[in-house]
Amino acid sequence: MFKGSNVALVTPFKNDRLDDETYIKLIHFHIKNGTNGLVPAGTTGESPTLSHGEHERVIELCVKESGGKLPVFAGTGSNSTEEAISLTSHAEKIGANGALIVTPYYNKPTQEGLYQHYKAINDKCGIPIIIYNIPGRSVIDMSIDTMAKLYELKNIIGVKDATGDLNRVDETLKKMGNDFIQLTGNDDNALEFNKRGGVGAISVTANIAPKLCSEFQKFSVMNDDKSKSEAKRLNEILQPVHHSMFVESNPSPVKYAAKLLKLCEDDVRLPLVKVTDPTKEIIKKALKSASLI
């Protein structure tokens, strides 16, 4: 259900308020342009600065407007287990297909703490859960053994791996098998990630290049020489774009790129700020190189 190019949706703001109209347009933009799945209210969606009500509304709008045309895996993680349960329960109630749940940040739980956190959510909710392992933001790194133990639970189905360690794909595949969904959270390593057993990405770049990302993902999991060659070609086109999206903290760069493409404004919430002029030039150059502008 959840493979290919899945967009980590930005959350558009106008005058520091959620811009519902633009957000709805973005969802339909992805439906029309080949995106395989929608991930609202994640890191790229600025979940840390969304109010509880905004967080729920972003997910509700995504589920409603997608109308079952694309799967929706809602970002419902928190460093408070009770809050994560609340957000996940709400996502389940309104019809999300699953939840993307980040490892608890700042608290620095042990591996047993991580297990108990996800188990508590699993036990209180009934929708598929993808673990979001991103040590660069959460400080902690979930071990493959902890992940394997969680996979024994009814709702845990896979991982969004943002460790950047490609060897983990092999190790995870060996430990959990092909049915455990492995998605990369790093656009730039998606080609090798899929070669090793991954089945897709939760992508920042897909916000601004949905067709390219979707086509790339399609060819990257095929084994014939023609498809491999096409995946390599598309990957080379996308690499400068991927790089430009992380010159400054995500999602400021992708929002500026989206503004250039007239998809949404580049407003972000403090403590994030808009990108600097030198970064704007890097982004423009990357978009031009991919014929996006």
Contact predicate 13/267, CB 8 Å: yes
Query: Could you report how far apart the first and last alpha carbons of the chain are, in Å?
Result: 32
Q: Which CATH class is domain 4-220?
A: alpha beta
Contact predicate 186/155, CB 8 Å: no
> What integer pLDDT is reported at residue 199 of this predicted model?
98
> What integer pLDDT is reported at residue 7 of this predicted model?
98
> What integer pLDDT is reported at residue 111 of this predicted model?
98
Contact predicate 212/290, CB 8 Å: yes
Counting as low any pLDDT under 70, the low residues of the chain are none
Q: Which of 148, 200, 153, 155 is nearest to 177 (CA)?
A: 148
> What integer pLDDT is reported at residue 2 of this predicted model?
87
**Strand 4-8 relative to strand 17-18: parallel, antiparallel, unpaired?**
unpaired
Q: Which of 236, 237, 266, 262 is nearest to 251 (CA)?
A: 266
The catalytically annotated residue of 132, 151, 255, 259 is 132
> What integer pLDDT is reported at residue 127 of this predicted model?
98
The catalytically annotated residue of 160, 218, 259, 280 is 160
Distance separating alpha carbons of residues 42 and 151, to the nearest angstrom: 22
Residue written as tokens 């969304």?
Answer: 50
Q: Which of 237, 140, 150, 157 is nearest to 199 (CA)?
A: 157
Encode pLDDT of 167-192 as tens digits: 999 999 999 999 999 999 999 999 99
User: What stretches of the chain show up as alpha helix (H) in DSSP?
Assistant: 20-32, 52-66, 81-93, 111-124, 135-138, 144-151, 167-176, 190-195, 210-220, 225-244, 252-260, 277-289
> What integer pLDDT is reported at residue 107 of this predicted model?
96
Contact predicate 191/232, CB 8 Å: yes
> What integer pLDDT is reported at residue 178 of this predicted model?
95
Is there a catalytic annotation at residue 132? yes
Spell out the domain ranges in the chain.
4-220
Contact predicate 37/22, CB 8 Å: no
Six-digit token string for 159 = 């991982």
